[in-house]
Amino acid sequence: MNKTASGWVNGFVGVVIFAGSLPATRAAVMDLDPVFLTCARAAIAASLGLALLLVLRQRRPAPAEVPSLAVVVSGVVIGFPLLTALALQHVSSAHSIVFLGLLPLCTAIFGVMRGGERPRPAFWLFSLLGSAFVAGYAARGGIEASLKGDLLMLAAVVVCGLGYAEGARLSRHLGGWQVISWALVLALPVMLPLTLFTMPASFEHVSASAWFGLAYVSLFSMLIGFIFWYRGLAQGGIAAVSQLQLLQPFFGFGLAAAFLDETVSATMLVATLGAVFCVAGARKFAT
């Protein structure tokens, strides 16, 4: 298998893994505090990432790379997990998955900002149209009842897009899986004490599904998924492989329906298809 094909395979595996993140988070926050969940998943993944770095004797990041790692930490280690955990206290995972249709576009925008590219006007047209699809879906579903959850999800998508773009840029120099591992290690001195501080007094009320959700987001969403994802971006090209994120909402819908018995309405599917169409168009005219 050549390098480009391997990149697409790795990227696809990463997207499939990430698709389970929101349903798993939804299951976890049913019994666990969102702040504890965010800190615990990062601390667990950081411990594993540190072990990999030590066993494989990876070089330490250069001082010039630390600010970029801090951006990755704020985006994908803390920002996205915390904001989605808070949002999923107000909306279902199926509802939240619709917002992931904007994630490739958000990643592209930050990639443009970081790379200094000049997209054609059609890019911004598709961007605005995609936002209109998402806003229209939220309003039709009762925006007053879920406004807080929707705003939290929008914020989560923004910070995640920034973390993806910065991590993909940094992976060219530091390596794919090394980026997320060092980002987790950088956050560990803060996340581990916060995990202990926010830990509930008793775990008797925590269901098996909540424990499964915590295990999934700690091992797969926070570490293993990024190993495949950043490797795929590095091998197949950031612009090309990042489009695989367009498939993530559909995988997420299936998982939410299968494991959480949540209803996937026709409106959700139409909104996601609209967002996916607009993101695809925006990506086409990004350069």
Q: How confident is the model over 207-245, as pLDDT tens digits?
A: 999 999 999 999 999 999 988 988 887 777 666 677 777
d(CA 238, CA 220): 21
The residue that leads in pLDDT, 131 or 157, is 157
d(CA 184, CA 163): 13
Main-chain phi, psi angles of 77, to 5 degrees? -90, -40
Comparing 34-43, 95-104, 149-158, which segment has the lowest mean pLDDT? 95-104
Interior CA angle at 195 toward 190 and 200, to 5°? Answer: 155
- Banded pLDDT at 113 (limits 50, 70, 90): confident
Once rounded to an integer, what is the mean pLDDT over residues 33-52? Answer: 93
Q: What is the mean pLDDT of the chain?
A: 83
Instruction: Give yes or no for a contact between 40 and 78, defined as CB atoms under 8 angstroms apart.
Output: no
- Is residue 143 predicted with pLDDT exceeding 60? no
Helices (H), the chain: 3-19, 21-29, 34-55, 66-72, 80-87, 93-97, 103-115, 121-140, 143-174, 176-198, 208-216, 225-236, 238-241, 248-259, 266-284
Interior CA angle at 142 toward 16 and 213, to 5°? Answer: 30
Comparing 7-11, 79-83, 155-159, 249-253, which segment has the lowest mean pLDDT? 249-253
Q: Find the distance separating the first CA and the last CA of the chain, reported in whole Å.
A: 29
What is the predicted pLDDT for the residue at 285? 73
Dihedral of the alpha carbons of 108, 109, 112, 118, in degrees to the nearest 10: 110
- Is residue 45 predicted with pLDDT exceeding 90? yes
Query: Would you state the structure tokens that stand for residue 181, as one six-digit string?
Result: 């591992």
Once rounded to an integer, what is the mean pLDDT over residues 78-102? Answer: 82
Query: What tens digit of pLDDT does each residue of 166-208 get?
Result: 888 888 788 878 999 999 999 999 999 999 999 988 888 899 9
Closest C-alpha to 133, from 282, 278, 285: 278
The residue that leads in pLDDT, 99 or 41, is 41
Task: Delimit the domains of the chain by residue range.
Answer: 3-284
- Is residue 159 predicted with pLDDT exceeding 90? yes
> For 129-139, b where at least 16 C-beta lie within 10 A, e where not — what string?
bbeebbeebbe
Once rounded to an integer, what is the mean pLDDT over residues 97-123? Answer: 75
The residue that leads in pLDDT, 74 or 135, is 74
Relative orientation angle of helices 80-87 and 21-29, to the nearest 10 degrees: 60
